[in-house]
Structure 1
Amino acid sequence: MTWNFLPRPPRAPDPLVTLRLQIRLGELAAELRRVEEDPDVYARAHHWFAVQGAYDALLREACHLAGLPTETAPLRADERAGAGERLREELELSSRGWSW
């Protein structure tokens, strides 16, 4: 008897995980706008950098979930993606139907 194994197609991401990521990206984007627009936010620069880092890390996670290539090194707490890389990731996700 000969076994013929065909490669399985990649599994589609769980729609609830995708939705949760989209919601969280939207919340972080709104928080960034709020910090930018409110000059009275305590420790404004620190708060902005923290939110931007969280947004970049979540954006990278969304890219992995969608099967998009990203920079190989994971972001650490003190790192943020460059503006060009962030824009590329946002555009790639948007072109695949993601919205936040």
Structure 2
Amino acid sequence: MAWTFLARQRPAPDPLVTLRLQTRLGELATELRRVEQDPDVYARAHHWFAVQGAYDALLREACRLAGLPAESAPLRADERAGAAERLREELELSSRGWSW
């Protein structure tokens, strides 16, 4: 007797939502580079931490949307992911065709 298993497939994410996330990730990455390279930014460290936190939270949202494992707890506004976790999430998304 042959068994067939019906796997429940997740519906594909809305392409416009995906595009909006990718666009926002690109904007935040550009802003991070700008803050890093411009020594005259007012409150530079605070601005960098705020942008990095927003980037990390959006990266987690992108992972959730793409069905990738991300750390279980969502980031609060004042938290940032570690560099290793951030790199893992970026590489996972890139390997699935995401670009920003």
Query: TM-score, with normalisation over the residues of structure 1?
Result: 0.92
Alpha-carbon offset, residue 9 of structure 1:
2.1
2:67 alignment counterpart: 67
Instruction: Tell me the SS of whatever aligns to 1:13.
Output: coil
Within-5 A mapping of 1:38-49: 38-49=38-49
1:76 is paired with a residue whose SS is coil
Shift of the alpha carbon at 1:7? 5.8
1:3: which partner in 2?
A: none
Q: Counterparts of 1:70 and 1:10 in 2: how far apart (Å)?
A: 17
Partner of 1:53: 53
The RMSD of aligned alpha carbons is 1.0
Query: Shift of the alpha carbon at 1:36?
Result: 0.2
> TM-score, with normalisation over the residues of structure 2?
0.92
Deviations 1:36-85 (A, max 9, x none): 00000000000000000000000000000000001111101211000000
Deviation at 1:8, TM superposition (A): 4.3
Of 30-39 and 69-78, deviating more is 69-78
Q: Detail structure 1 runs of 4+ shifted over 4 Å in the superposition.
A: none
CA distance in 2, matches of 1:9, 1:94: 21
**Gapped runs of 5+ residues in structure 2?**
1-5
Q: State the one-letter code of the partner of 2:23.
A: I
